[in-house]
Chain A
């Protein structure tokens, strides 16, 4: 069976910080991504090639706390536990309800999805649209970083060698519609070809706030505050009429790849059509 994997199972969060600082061990909560990525033939121990820090059992990382301005979601709260929690925003629940399958949702966590930093990470467009920040913690203390500054490329992020993602901070906001669509090969268990999150609120017939985030169509999640800003204050009727032109403004940002799940052309075509559909009808429906 070869050498044992160096794995640590800290008894507390503080101990986890110390072990992480001392060894650089990679945090593992449910293992649903890491165990697949490092799998070896049947019977052989998956080999991540580095020490592992088991953190999925730490209750202090699995809490959900609602404050006056934000909901703080523990990085290791399982998807299943979030589905049951009343403070978790509706759009995130809808996304989690479509993510993988019940056995994966019983183990998988937001912290894992974020640190995996895949452009196709199902929850990422939703977290981007919600303007989430991450609390990154270590023996040195804590820092807070917006999610779009944390993830820098496919599988790449700015987590320091001694840090752990502790919490996801979701600012509280009210929206008139929350929209999530996932395009995949089948309903359960499929990884996304494209995922789409839209948040919209209106005020006297005009756009008060609109946020659009698209996953799996570029090295990181696509969101343009510039385009969104230009739509604020626009009469809703006009937004609907110019939907095609607005969608076209996203075209330079949509830079998909072809892989085993889909092709570049399909991803570009479908994401632009999803955009157009969202701007014409999606903003006034819940999906």
Chain B
């Protein structure tokens, strides 16, 4: 099946099995290795990407369902000021250790801040609840996002 979508701001077309996981298409066909496979069953969030601005698990998304959608992976997001701001805040708060879960967390944070530029701690934890981190214990990640939300006007409309 021919499937068209916008990937990291570029129009793309793939001709492939529509039941292939978006995760495999992004990694194998486009070389986007920032999209990680953790659990492969929608529990850990390492494979998170934004589809039409919403956080989605690419490991359980058949590529046939993203026809006409806009997809953003960490590779596209890292070119933005928002990314650079989040990166610095997570660094300062100790929100990154091994780094495997980080692309997913960063995109989950972006999805949250888009919807809610000034989230409470509970709202941050809720927004990140689809992502697992085995290193940091979450506090550093939550702290980093809270610092960004308090300090920066980048997400305010």
| Nearest CB in chain B to that of A48: its residue | B19
Which A88-108 residues sit within 8 Å CB-CB of chain B?
A: 100-104, 106-107
Of the residues A28, A102, A188, contact of B65 by C-beta under 8 Å: A28
Which A2-59 residues sit within 8 Å CB-CB of chain B?
A: 4-5, 7, 9, 28, 30-32, 35-36, 39, 42-43, 45-48, 52, 54, 56-57
Q: How far is the CA of A39 from the CA of B20 in the complex (A)?
A: 10
Of the residues A7, A39, A47, contact of B64 by C-beta under 8 Å: A7
Which B113-157 residues sit within 8 Å CB-CB of chain A?
A: 126-127, 129-130
B130 touches A45 (CB 8 A): no
User: Quick check: is B28 within 8 A (CB to CB) of the other chain?
Assistant: yes
B130 touches A102 (CB 8 A): yes
List A contacts of B54 (CB < 8 A).
80, 103, 106
User: Quick check: is A251 within 8 A (CB to CB) of the other chain?
Assistant: no
With A9-B64, A103-B45, A106-B56 already in contact, the answer to whether A43 and B129 are too (CB < 8 A) is no
Q: How far is the CA of A250 from the CA of B41 in the complex (A)?
A: 35
Chain A count of residues within 8 A CB distance of the other chain: 33
B129 touches A102 (CB 8 A): yes
List A contacts of B51 (CB < 8 A).
106
A173–chain B nearest beta-carbon distance, Å: 29
Give per-residue flags for B1-16: 1 if the beta carbon is below 8 A from chain A beta carbons, else 0.
1000000000000000
User: Quick check: is B92 within 8 A (CB to CB) of the other chain?
Assistant: no
User: Quick check: is B40 within 8 A (CB to CB) of the other chain?
Assistant: yes
Of the residues A5, A43, A101, A104, contact of B18 by C-beta under 8 Å: A5
B87–chain A nearest beta-carbon distance, Å: 21
A7 touches B60 (CB 8 A): no
With A101-B130, A189-B129, A189-B130 already in contact, the answer to whether A46 and B21 are too (CB < 8 A) is yes
| Nearest CB in chain B to that of A30: its residue | B65
Q: How far is the CA of A39 from the CA of B68 in the complex (A)?
A: 25
User: Quick check: is B74 within 8 A (CB to CB) of the other chain?
Assistant: no
Q: How far is the CA of A7 from the CA of B2 in the complex (A)?
A: 11
Q: Report the interface size class on chain B.
A: 20 to 34
B61 touches A35 (CB 8 A): yes
A9 touches B18 (CB 8 A): yes
B130 touches A35 (CB 8 A): no
A45 touches B19 (CB 8 A): yes
List A contacts of B42 (CB < 8 A).
32, 35-36, 100, 103-104
Give per-residue flags for B35-65: 1 if the beta carbon is below 8 A from chain A beta carbons, else 0.
0010011110100100100111101111011
User: Quick check: is A245 within 8 A (CB to CB) of the other chain?
Assistant: no
User: Quick check: is B110 within 8 A (CB to CB) of the other chain?
Assistant: no
Of the residues A43, A106, A189, contact of B43 by C-beta under 8 Å: A189
List B contacts of A42 (CB < 8 A).
24, 37, 40
Residues on B close to A: CB < 8 A?
1, 17-21, 24, 28, 37, 40-43, 45, 48, 51, 54-57, 59-62, 64-65, 67-68, 108, 111, 126-127, 129-130
Can you sample 26 A-B contacts with CB below 8 Å? Answer: A4-B1, A5-B17, A5-B18, A7-B18, A7-B19, A9-B64, A31-B62, A35-B42, A35-B62, A36-B42, A36-B60, A39-B41, A45-B19, A48-B19, A52-B18, A57-B67, A80-B54, A101-B130, A102-B108, A103-B45, A103-B48, A103-B55, A104-B130, A106-B51, A107-B56, A189-B130
**Shortest Cβ-Cβ A-B pairs, 6 listed:** A101-B130, A188-B129, A35-B60, A5-B19, A7-B18, A106-B54
Residues on A close to B: CB < 8 A?
1, 4-5, 7, 9, 28, 30-32, 35-36, 39, 42-43, 45-48, 52, 54, 56-57, 80, 100-104, 106-107, 187-189
